[in-house]
Amino acid sequence: MKPIDLQYKMPAEWTAHERTLLSWPVQDSMVYPDDYENVCKGYQELVSAIAEFEPVTLVVNPDDLEKVQALFQGQTVDFLPLEHNDAWLRDNGPTIVVNEAGERAGINWGFNAWGGKYEPWDLDDAVAPAVLKHLGLRQFDAPLVLEGGSIHVDGEGTMLTTEECLLNTNRNPQLSREQIEQHVKDFTNVEQIIWLNRGLAGDETDGHVDNVACFAAPGKVILQVCNDPADDNYEITQENLRILADATDARGRKLEVIQIEQPPLVMYGEQRLTLSYLNFYFVNGGIILPVFGGTAEQADRNAIEVLQQTFPDRKIRTIDGMAVIREGGNVHCTTQQIPAGK
């Protein structure tokens, strides 16, 4: 049985949450392990910010449990001791689906550390089943590798993704495009997939859509853009604009596209940091937005203004995105929502 057979579907991220799941960083697996202390401070800020809006469950390696518990005394944070390799629960955690009766279940996607980039990943591949067991939810095992950061839905039958990631041969070389698309539809119960071509330049995830574009509402998409022709992201984001301008959603609507200008280029050593305001996260009544400061101060203000105009009823809660990015991703990458049931 598949979720579609039982009328389960993946709800939009902005619907009510019961709680948010995150994982605590693991120093041995970090892209920049020397920054572990600063990254942990960034995660502490992020977890505390989310806990202002809704409860948090934090997956923690057992050896770190006592130390991490001490950081969140008096906050609406509980802990799930669980061995894991990496801190990106969006990508190795379960995707929760809901049926019309409000019953929830979880999709256990295959996980191979973004196309085999970081070994080992066996503990991370076991996280989703362990989380679903902890939550007491039914488990659907999907026959393909897929990270949660590579898909975004509007809750009304439409999904955004990128060919660069979902069709990458380092994920599912045995499957055709048609097979991948059918599996995704069967397990999330979407009717139409809007395929962008590429994600941002330098993104180690091979173009996750959660750095590029997301739905703000059915029929409305926010897109990070670059207006500097000398920047590698210029061609990428202008192409994405053209694709979205020509697209219609599952209900036949033309899309309204809201643009957010990207932050200025920041290098960390020889590596371009994948800075994105689109890597924000919906919480109950708010949005957790990474901002970057320094040369990005004006771009930060612009992003806050665009999001506040787009979501006038939500509080825009900013955090220091430069702390979390040194672990390799940002706010949305770390989080996984548990939709409220009935």
Phi-psi domain of 59 (left: phi exceeds 0; alpha: psi -120 through 50; beta: other): beta
DSSP state of 10: P
Integer Cα distance of 53 and 310 in angstroms: 19
For the chain, what's the residue count? 342
User: Using omega within 30 degrees of 0 as the cis cutoff, is the peptide bond preceding 120 cis?
Assistant: yes
For 94, residues 6+ apart whose C-beta sits below 8 A from its C-beta are 106, 107, 108, 109, 128, 129, 131, 132, 137, 139, 336
Residues 6+ apart with CB under 8 A from 43: 22, 24, 25, 87, 323, 324, 327, 334
Is 333 assigned a catalytic role? yes
Q: Which of 40, 165, 214, 333 is catalytic?
A: 333
| 97-106 core/surface letters (b: 16 or more CB in 10 A; e: else) | bbbeeeebbb
Our CA angle for 49, 51, 56, nearest 5°, is 125
Mind telling me the catalytic residues?
Answer: 333
